[in-house]
Structure 1
Amino acid sequence: MARVPYVESEDVPEQHRDLLVSSLQDRPLHVYRALGNNPAVLAGLRGFLSSLWSDSGLTDRRRELVILAVTREIGNEYEFHQHVNIARDVGIDDETIAAVSGGKFDEFDGEEAALLRYAVAVVRGEVDDREHEAIAEHYDESAVVGIAALAEGYAGLGGIIDALGVELEGEFVGWKPGEGGGEDGE
């Protein structure tokens, strides 16, 4: 059970009601309904996440790979689950999702492998000169800032979700979708 109530549309000011609804799923999500207990914070987070989504300097595929790697690293089932579906929508197959979830970054090309390693290093607080140089070989300064912000933004969102006890809207797809699902994906 969530630690805060899931607000209804009528519980928030009119100017924030649309923020309870996922633009991709066209329905209210528990995460937004929980955050709706503080409509100003909901608005700020939605704006921040929207910027990360569109301004990180990554393709849709690479953005989703980063989000999957980060949410798996922090163990946040809610965001991982949501982004498995988004990843599939942008053409990422379950085998690739399972490779990200399993930390098998060597299975990716040099640029994507560097990107995934960097994203995980960011959330672990382990970015050193070597990690920075590896990502800088593939991305300019603007994109490196976007990637670091994307990684930490979703790590932060995952922490909020965990603190509030936000529940999935359905059954967890598993850490390795297509390989039996379940809690540990195996």
Structure 2
Amino acid sequence: MPEETRLQPVDEADLQNKTLEALAPYRDQDGRIYAIWGTLAHHEDALRRFLVFGNHVLGKNTLPLKSRELMIVRIAARAQAAYEWDQHVRIARRAGLSDVEIMAAATGSWNELDQLDQVLLAATDSLIDGQRVDDELWRRMASTLSTQQIIDVLYTVGQYLTIATVINTLGVQPEGDLVLDLPRAEVATRKDPQA
């Protein structure tokens, strides 16, 4: 990731009213638009369309909330996307996940997590590494998840890899200090041999 922000967020005063309306739910506790969305507002039409898809993945996803957040922190750790990591550690904590569970998912040491989360994290890694799952993992997914949930796995990984790519390419910086240290890349990519 670049050390400096390559593209500054758009000033709210320069945004169209329809973009401001679309971004209404995407503000921090002080009422500021989150930096990721302000940065993507350089292409307002695309941002508004992307928010519709993102709203499904984040708000209407058929996967359990805790499981989805474990997948997202895994993606953020693997991609070394500090902004995404910080935002989703906060969401994961609000969802009831402990820092131990978050770090287990992030570092690939998920043997103590439940079977559903192990399948979802294995699928996450497989999709990151090869953009597919093999037959054995497919059977595990199909025996554990509904068809809609399998599609939401694909959407979740795709959405958050896209966001990680944006963060790391445009240099979107965390909004303050990280609430939990991001594992180093070599730790995050280590896979548990029993997973």
User: Which category describes the TM-score, using the shorter chain as reference length?
Assistant: 0.7 to 0.9
Scaled by the length of structure 1, the TM-score of the pair is 0.88
Distance (Å, rounded) in 1 between the aligned partners of 2:90 and 2:54:
17
Partner residue, 1:36: 41
Q: Which structure 2 residues correspond to residues 134-173 of structure 1 after superposition, within 5 A?
A: 134-172=140-178, 173=180
Aligned length: 180
Distance (Å, rounded) in 1 between the aligned partners of 2:52 and 2:119:
28
Q: Which structure 2 residues correspond to residues 116-131 of structure 1 after superposition, within 5 A?
A: 116-125=121-130, 126-131=132-137
Distance (Å, rounded) in 2 between the aligned partners of 1:41 and 1:110:
37
CA drift of 1:18 comes to 3.7
Q: State the one-letter code of the partner of 1:120.
A: D
Distance (Å, rounded) in 2 between the aligned partners of 1:184 and 1:18:
41
Alignment partner of 1:166: what SS? coil
Q: Per chain length, whose mean CA-contact separation is higher, i.e. which structure has more relative contact order (CA < 8 Å, sep 6+)?
A: 2
CA drift of 1:156 comes to 0.9
Q: State the one-letter code of the partner of 2:17.
A: E
Distance (Å, rounded) in 2 between the aligned partners of 1:74 and 1:169:
18
Distance (Å, rounded) in 1 between the aligned partners of 2:21 and 2:77:
29
Mean CA deviation greater in 116-125 or 53-62: 53-62
The C-alpha deviation readout for 1:95-123, integer Å capped at 9, x for no partner, is 11111111112121211111111112112
8 Å CA contact retained: 1:19, 1:32: no
CA drift of 1:175 comes to 2.2
Alignment RMSD, CA only?
A: 2.1
Q: State the one-letter code of the partner of 2:181.
A: G
The C-alpha deviation readout for 1:141-171, integer Å capped at 9, x for no partner, is 1110111110111011110111111111112
Say whether residues 1:46 and 2:51 are aligned partners: yes
131 and 23 in structure 1: CA distance in 2 versus 1, 3 angstrom threshold: farther
Distance (Å, rounded) in 2 between the aligned partners of 1:122 and 1:60:
20
Scaled by the length of structure 2, the TM-score of the pair is 0.84
Distance (Å, rounded) in 2 between the aligned partners of 1:52 and 1:139:
16
Q: State the one-letter code of the partner of 2:8.
A: P
8 Å CA contact retained: 1:174, 1:183: no
Partner residue, 2:191: none
Q: Which structure 2 residues correspond to residues 175-186 of structure 1 after superposition, within 5 A?
A: 175=182
69 and 137 in structure 1: CA distance in 2 versus 1, 3 angstrom threshold: same
Q: State the one-letter code of the partner of 1:63.
A: R
Q: State the one-letter code of the partner of 1:148.
A: L
Partner residue, 2:13: 10
Flag structure 2 segments of 5+ consecutive residues without an equivalent: 188-195
Distance (Å, rounded) in 2 between the aligned partners of 1:23 and 1:30:
9
Counting aligned pairs with the same residue, the percent is 24
Partner residue, 2:181: 174
